[in-house]
């Protein structure tokens, strides 16, 4: 989506969200059980964000739950990043990250905010990644790696802080597909996607540590909601079985009907972003 796609309908949705969405009433709608489960109040639509490293199985999880009639899955807006007013921002980012990382990540924040605020008719919205991982993992990684200037980092952080304070980008649950760097690298090599060929091992390892710092160790950045950690090192066929076994946890204990055949197209890869 270029800026052409961000006109009246988009901004009307932004205006309708306010700090009221983060009120105590909203907080009371989320009830955490003593064993770490999550149950949503009747009639409340919920948002689940699927987080994890490149090659962690996010597409596999989204494809699995797209079969359920109550679930609307939303992939990362990679196609929008490839066509912002006719410009391929993803390609520019790959070609010269030191020059284009700030510009690219600012557009990532915009399009991820669009995903968060997009209205859906189904009771469960399941997103691939979130605006939060964009800030705490990807922007952080670029800055720490010397590919983003301090001033650019400060601007993106202030933009992120404004969004989270004024726009409803609050998920109800994060599903973290926890994958070791070795397994992630092997999957990346095995699927051999064009945009992932140049990803260095150091990049995958750095992203792993940032995800761990954020969602497991909780060492630096705030976690916006409860986190469900799944062992995604196992074979993808076994991982699908675990999705079934832990369906109620993953879907916030929502009641769902039997799955139907999905017409969801294969998700594009965000590769090294």
Listed in sequence order, the residues at least 6 apart from 28 whose beta carbon sits closer than 8 Å to its beta carbon are none
Position 255 confidence tier, pLDDT thresholds 50, 70, 90: low
CA atoms of 68 and 156, how far apart (whole Å): 36
Query: pTM above 0.95?
Result: no
- For 160-191, give one letter per residue: b (16+ CB within 10 A) or e: beebbeebbbbbbbbbbbbbbbebbbebbeee
What rounded mean pLDDT belongs to the chain?
A: 82
Supply the residues annotated as catalytic: 128
Listed in sequence order, the residues at least 6 apart from 186 whose beta carbon sits closer than 8 Å to its beta carbon are 55
Give the pLDDT confidence of 169-220 residue by residue, as tens digits: 999 999 999 999 999 999 998 887 776 777 889 999 999 999 999 999 999 8
Q: Look at residues 87, 85, 214 and name the one whose alpha carbon lies nearest to residue 139.
A: 214
Architecture of domain 3-250: 3-Layer(aba) Sandwich (3.40)
**Domain residue spans in the chain?**
3-250
> Does 14 score more than 70 pLDDT?
no
The pLDDT of residue 236: 84
| Kind plus residue range of the DSSP H or E element containing 45 | none
Phi, psi of 213 (to 5 degrees): -60, -40
Whole-number Cα distances in Å, 22 to 18, 121, 171: 8, 21, 11
Report percent pLDDT > 90 for the chain.
66
* 3-class SS of residue 209: helix
């Amino acid at each position: 989506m270029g800026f052409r796609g961000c006109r009246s309908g988009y901004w009307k949705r932004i205006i309708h969200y306010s700090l009221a969405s983060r009120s105590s009433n909203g907080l009371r709608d989320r009830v955490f059980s003593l064993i770490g489960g999550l149950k949503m109040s009747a009639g409340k639509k919920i948002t689940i964000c699927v987080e994890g490293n490149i090659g962690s199985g996010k597409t596999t999880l989204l494809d699995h739950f797209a079969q359920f009639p109550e679930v609307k899955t939303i992939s990362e807006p990679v196609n929008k990043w490839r066509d912002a007013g006719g410009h391929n921002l993803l390609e520019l980012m790959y070609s010269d990250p030191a020059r284009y990382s700030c510009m690219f990540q600012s557009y990532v924040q915009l399009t991820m905010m669009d995903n968060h605020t997009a209205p859906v008719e189904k009771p469960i919205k399941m997103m691939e990644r979130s605006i939060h991982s964009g800030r705490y993992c990807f922007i952080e990684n670029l800055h720490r790696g010397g590919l983003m200037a301090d001033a650019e980092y400060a601007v993106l952080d202030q933009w992120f802080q404004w969004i989270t304070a004024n726009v409803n980008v609050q998920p109800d649950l994060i599903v973290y597909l926890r994958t070791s760097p070795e397994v992630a690298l092997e999957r990346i090599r095995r699927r051999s996607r064009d945009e992932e060929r140049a990803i260095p091992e150091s990049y995958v390892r750095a992203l792993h540590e940032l995800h761990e710092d954020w969602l497991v160790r909780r060492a630096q950045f705030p976690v916006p909601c409860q986190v469900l950690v799944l062992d995604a090192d196992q074979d993808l066929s076994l991982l699908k079985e675990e999705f079934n076994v832990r369906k109620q946890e993953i879907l916030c204990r929502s009641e769902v009907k039997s799955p139907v055949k999905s017409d969801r197209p294969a998700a594009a890869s965000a590769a090294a972003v």
